[in-house]
Amino acid sequence: MALALRQPSAITVAEAALNGKHPKPAELSLYTGANQIFEICATPVPDAGAFRAVITLHDTTREKQTEGMRADFVANVSHELRSPLASLIGFVETLRGPAKDDREAQEKFLGIMHSEAERMARLIDDLLSLSKVEVDEHIQPRDQVSLSSLLRQVVDAMGVRANEKGMTVSLNMSANLPDVVGDEDQLTQVFQNLIDNAVKYGRPKSDINIEISVVDRVPGTAAPGVSVSIKDQGDGISEEHLSRLTERFYRVDKARSRELGGTGLGLAIVKHIIGRHRGWLAIDSEENIGSTFTVTLPVLEA
């Protein structure tokens, strides 16, 4: 046993069973290219006046990771809400005290309080959206959705914000695009988030190019699909951050994200919605050039 598993917890459990005892399960960590966590159990088996031991290993890596993610999520939510709440409380106290009769200070502080309240409202809305998506994630949508029509509506809605920055949004699509299988409200949310990010992080007076085309298959499947690529001309994202962009509350630049009204949940929501649709999300970026977010969704079967 000591030759196979050198961890003290494994040896202790095995030795106890070999001595006829029923030890409590222990935790065991093994590195097999990635860190894995196991629960190790040992059961004594009588054999000609002595004991053998039956050793079982139960992989608890996913459970432990989930526990860690849950703890991190609660900590992040608490932090994200505590900051604007502390600001609101501080400004209320100031308005009731030193700035009680200062009209100029009142206008300034009320404006900040309004921004902080809106920030909390956005966070709560995104938390509710994420929770709803996670509940339904195992149920694949079955409705018929026209991406060309949906994207025209989203681009029209986002056009005002793009115009404010002097940006141009172009929508290029193949003729006779097939419909996809999906939930129209959720897919609208996906493309609102992605186009909103392109507007936020794209340079003023730059272009946002949206390309829609038919593909032979959705990556990871044999099913044909429709691909939507949203390309901005912004600062881009360094490679070290790309794999973590869809994590909850992960931000490349926290200060800039908060300044622009981001909650850190938008791309996590996008990832879960696309997962529910059995689609694929790809992110490519080059610093000082821009980023491209590509969503591929399965088409409606004839």
Helices (H), the chain: 8-18, 61-96, 103-136, 147-164, 184-201, 239-242, 254-259, 266-276
Task: Give the span between the Cα atoms of 274 and 183, in whole angstroms.
Answer: 10
Kindly list the domain boundaries of the chain, sorted by start residue.
8-59, 71-136, 144-298
CA angle, 191 as apex, 205 and 176 as ends, to 5°?
A: 100
pLDDT tens digits, residue range 48-57? 778 888 888 8
Helix (H, G, I), strand (E, B) or coil at 99: coil
Q: Which of 190, 279, 189 is nearest to 227 (CA)?
A: 279
Q: What is the pLDDT of residue 302?
A: 57
Tell me the average pLDDT across 224-228.
Answer: 92
Task: Give the span between the Cα atoms of 133 and 120, in whole angstroms.
Answer: 20
User: In this predicted structure, which of 20-24, 60-64, 243-247 has the lowest mean pLDDT?
Assistant: 60-64
| Residue 239 structure tokens | 């490679």
- At 68, the pLDDT band (50, 70, 90 cuts) reads low
pLDDT tens digits, residue range 95-118? 888 888 888 888 888 888 888 888
Task: Give the span between the Cα atoms of 71 and 38, in whole angstroms.
Answer: 20
**Claim: this prediction has a pTM higher than 0.85:** no
Per the rule left: phi > 0, alpha: psi between -120 and 50, beta: everything else, 33 is left
Residue 243, pLDDT above cutoff 90: no
Task: Give the span between the Cα atoms of 234 and 195, in whole angstroms.
Answer: 13
Task: Give the span between the Cα atoms of 85 and 77, in whole angstroms.
Answer: 12
What does CATH list as the number for 144-298? 3.30.565.10
Residue 22, pLDDT above cutoff 60: yes
Q: Is the dihedral of CA 201, 203, 207, 213 positive or negative?
A: negative
The fraction of the chain above a pLDDT of 90, given in percent, is 24
CATH classification for the domain delimited by 71-136, as one of 3.30.2320.50, 3.40.50.300, 1.10.287.130, 1.10.287.3510 = 1.10.287.130
Residue 229, pLDDT above cutoff 70: yes
Tell me the average pLDDT across 72-80.
Answer: 68
